[in-house]
Amino acid sequence: MYARLSSVMFPIAALLFAGAIFWGYQEHQEKNSILIKAENQYQRAFHDLNTHMDRLYDEMGETLAVAGNSQAMQRKGLVNIWRLTSQAQNEINQLPLAMLPFNNASKFLARINNFAYQTAVRDLTKQPLTDQELKMMKSLYTTAQSINSELGSVQEAVMKDHLRWMDVEIAMASENGPNDNMIIDGFKSMDKQMGEYPETEWGPTALSTDRMRSSKGLEGKEVTEDEIRNVAAQYLHANVAQKKISVEATGEKTELPTYSVTVEEAKHEAVQMDFTRKGGHLLWMMNSRVVKDRTINFDTARNKASQYLVRHKYMEMTPVTYDEYDHVAVFTFVRLIDGIRFYPDKLTVRVALDNGEVVGLQTSDHVFAPKLLTPGKPKVSKAEAQKVLNTNFRIEQHLLSVMENPMQQLVLCHEFIGKINNRKYRIFVNAETGIEEDVVEIPDSAKPIY
């Protein structure tokens, strides 16, 4: 009996064993195929990065070599610099560098990218490169040379010693940390060089593109959890003792430490709020209750929003757009300075259309808005500014406003609101130069408030 059973089971066991070996072999082959594919992608991205950084260095040199009055050649060079830094940034993102301290390198390339783009799109015949910008470019050119030298050393080692990027990924994931890896050491060295680049040499144009929101520029002292609990209650017109208000400190190791507040309302409903720890400034508030119907009109909702802002000391704000969905009215307010709209200082108010209650407030743009005492006077008249508009643009409203251009510089503009091609736009014309600064489409859902 046992002989008969073994004669049956042995072939089956042998077949299963052979199948397991074959399956393991297939798995091993597939794993190797994936690793080879990943390694090839890493190698391609790395060598492409070297190529584009070399070309970036050459392009910067050629741009600096042309005459100061050759604006067309300067523009061409700046566009190429912008394109090459974009490609270099993309290739860095494809490499397994997420666990390396590579922030300085990324920031360095981002600043070159922003500077090249913003200077290329402006009218260089009217706003040529300044001496400070040219000086900064020369310094960038020198720094790019040392960076390329470091990259070249890494590339030479990779090719000579057949180094693998998969080993880099394994080394960075190791609990003991990366040790003695030529690729890692090279990229760390490059990041350190970029971090040592003097901030002051960037000049205001490039630095303005890198403004971060942090607690450093906020007014006021550090507030306690109890103080925030009282502030939250004021926004809700409630007694702290009668409300269950929980406060949690968040963002400990970030540039902007905050308090997250939760206020329990009715069943399955709650109000969420975020405050800065420095100064206790509200960043946003949201009431999660469902608004089932509409009983108040646009004028009433707008008045409710305006009254709410005044009550909480958001002064000199005027509504500019209105939207509505799910029986909730959404108003965007901007600050008025000497009767001129100051768009960087804005906030959004959500009003429930069933009873006029404010169920949402977004104030972060207001909290971190740049300071402006006076917008000044326009040097270009409305009639002169209007001449640069498309002749088919039908103007519905004109006003003066201050906008923030892509370089985060404040610009006084003639603002024209109107239609063309059955679409509505805001067109901003620089009130000093008469050049179009920006064109912003107004969505059909967002109705301008005149």
pLDDT of 158-172, one tens digit each?
676 666 666 655 555
Bridge pairing between strands 258-264 and 245-250:
antiparallel
* Chain mean pLDDT for the chain: 80
Instruction: Kindly report which listed range (157-161, 226-230, 243-247, 397-401) carries the lowest average pLDDT score.
Output: 157-161
The three-point CA angle 442-443-449 to 5° equals 55
For the cut 70, the answer to whether the pLDDT of residue 52 exceeds it is yes
Amino acid 360: pLDDT: 93
Max Cα distance, the chain (Å)? 109
Q: Are residues 152 and 28 located together in one domain of the fold?
A: yes
Look at residue 438 and tell me if it is in a domain.
yes
Percent of the chain with pLDDT over 90: 33
Residue 273 has phi, psi (to 5 degrees) of -145, 150
Instruction: Kindly report which listed range (195-199, 230-234, 300-304) carries the lowest average pLDDT score.
Output: 195-199
d(CA 407, CA 122): 11
Amino acid 218: pLDDT: 87
For the cut 50, the answer to whether the pLDDT of residue 208 exceeds it is no
214 residue type, one letter: S
pLDDT digits (tens, 9 = 90+) for 423-434: 999 999 999 999
Binning pLDDT at 50, 70 and 90, where does residue 178 land?
Answer: very low
Q: Are residues 280 and 328 located together in one domain of the fold?
A: yes
Look at residue 113 and tell me if it is in a domain.
yes
Domain that residue 357 falls in: 218-367
The top-scoring range by mean pLDDT among 55-64, 132-141, 411-420 is 411-420
pLDDT digits (tens, 9 = 90+) for 99-141: 454 556 667 777 788 788 878 877 788 778 888 888 888 887 8
Q: Are residues 191 and 272 located together in one domain of the fold?
A: no
Q: Are residues 195 and 244 located together in one domain of the fold?
A: no
CA distances from 174 to 11, 93, 168, 379 (A): 44, 21, 10, 62
d(CA 88, CA 110): 10
CA distances from 140 to 19, 111, 150, 154, 206 (A): 61, 11, 15, 21, 12
Amino acid 209: pLDDT: 43
Could you tell me if 122 and 71 are in contact, meaning their C-beta atoms sit under 8 angstroms apart? no
Bridge pairing between strands 282-287 and 358-362:
antiparallel
Look at residue 375 and tell me if it is in a domain.
no
The three-point CA angle 96-98-104 to 5° equals 115
Q: Are residues 223 and 91 located together in one domain of the fold?
A: no
**What would the mean pLDDT of 235-242 be, rounded to a whole number?**
71
Q: Are residues 168 and 264 located together in one domain of the fold?
A: no
The top-scoring range by mean pLDDT among 101-110, 253-262, 273-282 is 273-282
Amino acid 285: pLDDT: 93
Q: Are residues 69 and 30 located together in one domain of the fold?
A: yes
Number of H helices, E strands in the chain: 11, 13
d(CA 167, CA 158): 12
Q: Are residues 179 and 235 located together in one domain of the fold?
A: no
Amino acid 206: pLDDT: 43
d(CA 85, CA 91): 10
**What would the mean pLDDT of 251-271 be, rounded to a whole number?**
80
Amino acid 88: pLDDT: 83
Look at residue 40 and tell me if it is in a domain.
yes
**What would the mean pLDDT of 88-93 be, rounded to a whole number?**
79
Ordered alpha helix ranges (H), 215-266: 225-235
Amino acid 102: pLDDT: 55
Bridge pairing between strands 394-404 and 340-352:
parallel
CA distances from 269 to 9, 256, 282, 351 (A): 65, 28, 20, 17
Tokens of 8: 């049956």
pLDDT digits (tens, 9 = 90+) for 333-392: 999 999 999 999 999 999 999 999 999 999 999 999 988 888 899 999 999 999 999 999
Task: Name the residue among 84, 159, 154 with its Cα closest to residue 117.
Answer: 84
Could you tell me if 407 and 252 are in contact, meaning their C-beta atoms sit under 8 angstroms apart? no
Domain boundary among 297, 332, 367: 367
For the cut 70, the answer to whether the pLDDT of residue 85 exceeds it is yes
Look at residue 373 and tell me if it is in a domain.
no
pLDDT digits (tens, 9 = 90+) for 285-315: 998 888 989 999 999 999 999 999 999 999 9
Q: Are residues 270 and 145 located together in one domain of the fold?
A: no
Domain boundary among 176, 210, 244: 210
- Structurally, the chain folds into a number of domains equal to 3
